[in-house]
Homo-oligomer: A and B are copies of this chain.
Amino acid sequence: MIQTQGYAAKDASSRLEPFTFEREEPAADEVQIEVLYCGICHSDIHQVKNEWGNSVYPCVPGHEVVGRVTRVGERVTRHAVGDLVGVGCMIDSCRHCAPCRLGEQNYCEGPNSWLATYNGPMVPKAKAPDKKNRYGRDNTFGGYADSLVVKEDFVLKVPASLKPEVAAPILCAGVTTWSPLRHWKVQPGQHVGVIGFGGLGDMAVKLARALGAQVTVFTRTEDKLQDAQRLGAQGVLEGDEAALKQLERSLDFMLSTVPEKHDLNPFIPLLKRNGALVVVGALEPMASVNNQEVAFHRRSVAGSLIGSIEETQEVLDFCAEHDIGPDVQLVRIQDVNEAFDSVERGEARFRYVIDMASLKGEAAAAP
């Protein structure tokens, strides 16, 4: 067993605290990783607080992990000790269902769906059709820790030209916005709208710009308008009705990156005929949508969930090639709770990334 130090929430009302636990030694097809950096995703907060009602405790969050391979199982061929690697939201999937066979592990239809980097299988034992758990683990511990052990084919290669702390948020925020931009075939010259301008919005703007699209950002925060301009996008305040009116039927595609229930009705009229608004930020009941605006121009409101392993590698390589990446701010793990508060207040246009060096030498408390 590997003695591991991390930070965990004991229950839905507790803050993150030092936590010591054991990981299994890497199996023949697994690699052990020393975690260097881990991004803070809004869904870490949702799950720590059990806001989706599915949290398993203790909860060690973290699914934007970059680290160094320290050990490999005997059958591992894709990674070697010393490699800089990444781990995103998934660490395994059923490998047998139609989506898995197509390489779309993020839509795994196995009885337990995919195994999340933290919080265990997406379909836990109690909700599985046969009340079984094929992964043998009801909980998994994520990247807010000094080590991680992962199947080699769920481990990504971090291109040498990407700073490791910059690569970390690409593993969730990056691929979550990349996958729908690709699936809905965003083309150079198209006009893309991005609703919400936090960690996901920042990546959505940069990726859409690098794909050659014109981009308009919709935000509630006046301070962020200049940031949008700095990225080569137009910034519009959500309440600016004249600006919204001006944009009617002008957008080919929209991504909503707002991490909670919000009203899509002001944005639907901005889509062109046949346009799609894809919600990637909020995994919950949304406000009522007026189908008149949807039907009158054959628009769609869709959803998309992170991305596949192949898409994750693709977006890492695309970011390296185009020299783009999230704006990050490093924090010590001892300050993670304050960083959570800041993210919840919607202040951060950048991504907080935990510098895991801060964990070293800390006297971890017993569980």
| A interface residues (Cβ-Cβ under 8 A, vs B) | 52, 98-99, 104, 107, 109, 183, 249, 265, 273, 276, 279-280, 282-292, 294-305
Q: Do B273 and A291 touch (CB < 8 A)?
A: no
User: From A289, which residue of chain B is reached at the shortest CB distance?
Assistant: B286
Q: Do A302 and B297 touch (CB < 8 A)?
A: no
Q: Do B305 and A273 touch (CB < 8 A)?
A: no
- Residues of B near A295 (CB, < 8 A) are 279-280, 283, 303-305
Q: Do A285 and B290 touch (CB < 8 A)?
A: yes
Alpha-carbon distance A99/B297, docked complex (angstroms): 10
Given A285-B291, A288-B285, A291-B284, A301 and B298 contact (CB-CB distance below 8 Å)? no
Can you report 9 residue pairs joining A to B where beta carbons are below 8 Å apart? Answer: A279-B294, A282-B291, A283-B295, A286-B289, A291-B303, A294-B302, A296-B305, A300-B303, A301-B301
Alpha-carbon distance A104/B274, docked complex (angstroms): 12
Alpha-carbon distance A267/B285, docked complex (angstroms): 14
- Residues of B near A287 (CB, < 8 A) are 288
- Residues of B near A301 (CB, < 8 A) are 289, 294, 300-302
- Residues of B near A265 (CB, < 8 A) are 285
| CB contact between A303 and one of B283, B294, B303 (< 8 Å): that residue | B294
- Residues of B near A285 (CB, < 8 A) are 265, 288-291
Q: Do B273 and A107 touch (CB < 8 A)?
A: yes
How far is the CB of A305 from the nearest CB of chain B, in Å?
Answer: 5
- Residues of B near A288 (CB, < 8 A) are 285-288
Q: Do B303 and A302 touch (CB < 8 A)?
A: no
Alpha-carbon distance A99/B279, docked complex (angstroms): 27
- Residues of B near A289 (CB, < 8 A) are 285-286, 289, 301
- For the complex with contacts A279-B294, A294-B302, A300-B301, 11 further pairs of A-B residues with Cβ separation under 8 Å are A104-B273, A107-B273, A109-B273, A265-B285, A284-B292, A291-B303, A298-B303, A298-B305, A300-B300, A300-B303, A301-B301
- Residues of B near A298 (CB, < 8 A) are 107, 183, 302-305
Q: Do B107 and A297 touch (CB < 8 A)?
A: yes
Q: Do B291 and A279 touch (CB < 8 A)?
A: yes
Alpha-carbon distance A273/B99, docked complex (angstroms): 8
User: From A281, which residue of chain B is reached at the shortest CB distance?
Assistant: B291
Alpha-carbon distance A344/B52, docked complex (angstroms): 39
How far is the CB of A106 from the nearest CB of chain B, in Å?
Answer: 9
How far is the CB of A130 from the nearest CB of chain B, in Å?
Answer: 14
Alpha-carbon distance A5/B104, docked complex (angstroms): 62
- Residues of B near A183 (CB, < 8 A) are 298
